[in-house]
Amino acid sequence: MTSIAMLDPSLPSRFADGSAYEVFARLRSEAPVHYCAESRFGPFWSISLYDDIVEIESKPQLFSSEAKHGGVSIIDVDPAASAYFESFIMMDPPHHTGKRRVIAPAFNPSEMARLSQSIRDRTSAKLDALPRGETFDWVSTVSIDLTIDMLAILFDFPWEERHKLRLWSDAITSLDMIANRPEERVAHLFAMASRFHELWQERSAAAPGSDLLSMMIHSNDLAQMDAAEFMGNMATLIVGGNDTTRNSMSGMVEAFSLWPEEWDKLCANPEIIPNAASEIIRWQCPAIHMRRTALEDVEFRGHQIRKGDKLVLWYISANRQEDVFPDGDRFLVDRQNARRHLSFGYGIHRCVGARLAELQIQILLEEMIKRNMRVSLAGPVDREPHPFLAIVNSAPVMTMFKSSSII
Ligand code: HEM
């Protein structure tokens, strides 16, 4: 067994084959604040306990999200890169505060109520059109379409061009492109910025609307952005609004296939659907970690952290911490404290789109139950070796009626 001192929890393969859970169980018990001196992402501290993550996220004045210090992922932002990003997710107060405030009303309860019927209509149409009597890929048939359509609605993006949002989202997050095809990735990012710039110009001349672009145009804090910030904010909204919810919808079919009795429980008690949505997000943990950078030398739990050190806050670990979530590897739709998960982060950057993500998953579950549907895996789930996002590439499934006949 690798000695704890030599352990590199960030190895991407761990997140594809599921071995990360054992590694983090070991870190929680042997070295909850752990230093990895060498990795493909450089040296970093691993913070793997729930309360420690909460404490670090509560102190943005000491532990920064700023792009210029490296940003919010173990993969450093490179200020010299041609596609350099700045985004409000990678800003500390005071800059972060006003910018988040511009976006937040798009996710308030009245907006959620307004959007819910269109989410239900699209979800229903998608489920009614599913292939019958054959194996199909849940990710490309259901999760991707539902979340890309949602994103297009949020931006009021031209409907017939919405497939581009997927292309750009995948390019932003692809480790393969970052490492091996940077020019191709940069080309996608510039195409994204250029198309959004055209829409920005068009909407600037129009009356204020309720879409995200219009909200930014008619605000004090986001109306003027330089190229790096414009690209970064679009990228944050695209990845935030799409990948994470997509991967929750994909992860849930694996969870219900591993524990089919949980689906029975949900069908018998549909009132626990909101709790089940939280449990899906806890168990799948779509954002595996967030990262902060120390702004000063500081002692933390007996360890000397130096100014400039990278701290990786492993949500995937906190979400399965034994004394917070007993039997945390187990997926339980009626888990009492499922909502306490850290998948949305904590503190001033806590996910601004959390309600929308939950709503989309809840409606998907409701509409599946209404149709007496059961979805079961028909082959192995393919997960991306990625230390930042829990990406499900494909999930072959069969759908069945309650009566067990294949539809
Ligand atoms: C299950 C789905 C989702 C998960 C797991 C998730 C996770 C996260 C996490 C971990 C953060 C950073 C928290 C931190 O640093 O403490 C975040 C921030 C953010 N998320 Fe989400 N997210 C999801 C869905 C969404 C959706 C649907 C949107 C809508 C567009 C969205 C937009 C954002 C934005 C704009 C931020 C930056 C907030 C800030 O810096 O103040 N997310 N999200």
pLDDT in tens, 296-336: 999 999 999 999 999 999 999 999 999 999 999 999 999 99
Side chain identity at residue 311, one-letter code = L
Query: Ligand 1 within 6 A of 87 CB?
Result: no
> Does residue 406 register a pLDDT over 50?
no
pLDDT in tens, 356-372: 999 999 999 999 999 99
Nearest to 247 by CA among 58, 397, 384: 384
Ligand 1 center from residue 3 Cα (angstroms): 35
State the CB neighbour count (10 A cutoff) for residue 113: 10
Q: Which atom of ligand 1 is nearest to the CA of 107?
A: 29
Please give the average per-residue pLDDT across 183-210, as a whole number. 92
- Which 3 state secondary structure label does DSSP give 270? helix
Q: Which of 65, 85, 315, 344 to mutate to test the pocket of ligand 1 (most atoms within 8 A of CB)?
A: 344
Nearest to 53 by CA among 75, 78, 77, 27: 27
User: Mean pLDDT of all residues in the chain?
Assistant: 94
Cα separation, 100 vs 281, in Å, equals: 23
Residue 176's pLDDT band, with cuts at 50, 70 and 90, is confident
The closest residue, in CA terms, to atom 30 on ligand 1 is 241
Query: Ligand 1 within 6 A of 248 CB?
Result: yes
The closest residue, in CA terms, to atom 11 on ligand 1 is 351
Question: How far from chain centre, in Å, is Cα 332?
Answer: 21
Q: Which atom of ligand 1 is nearest to the CA of 343?
A: 5
Of the listed ranges 77-86, 188-197, 215-224, the least confidently predicted one is: 77-86
Ligand 1 center from residue 354 Cα (angstroms): 7
pLDDT of residue 288: 98
pLDDT of residue 407: 39
Ligand 1 center from residue 240 Cα (angstroms): 5
Q: Could you tell me where the beta strands, DSSP code E, fall in 26-145?
A: 33-36, 44-47, 63-64, 136-137
Query: Ligand 1 within 6 A of 60 CB?
Result: no
Q: Are 287 and 315 in contact (CB under 8 A)?
A: yes
Q: Are 330 and 265 in contact (CB under 8 A)?
A: no
Contacts of 175 (CB under 8 A, 6+ apart): 12, 75, 384, 385, 386
The closest residue, in CA terms, to atom 21 on ligand 1 is 351
Please give the average per-residue pLDDT across 361-387, as a whole number. 96
Q: Are 290 and 310 in contact (CB under 8 A)?
A: no
pLDDT in tens, 20-49: 999 999 999 999 999 999 999 999 999 999
Query: Ligand 1 within 6 A of 88 CB?
Result: yes
pLDDT of residue 178: 83
The closest residue, in CA terms, to atom 20 on ligand 1 is 351
Query: Ligand 1 within 6 A of 316 CB?
Result: no
- Which 3 state secondary structure label does DSSP give 349? helix
Domains of the chain as residue ranges with CATH: 4-401 (1.10.630.10)
pLDDT in tens, 204-238: 999 998 899 999 999 999 999 888 889 889 999 99
The closest residue, in CA terms, to atom 19 on ligand 1 is 351
Q: Which of 52, 317, 351 to mutate to test the pocket of ligand 1 (most atoms within 8 A of CB)?
A: 351
pLDDT of residue 405: 40
Cis check for the bond before 380: say yes or no (omega within 30 of 0): no
> Does residue 83 register a pLDDT over 90?
no
By DSSP bridging, strand 382-383 and strand 392-394 are antiparallel
Cα separation, 84 vs 119, in Å, equals: 34
> Does residue 404 register a pLDDT over 60?
no
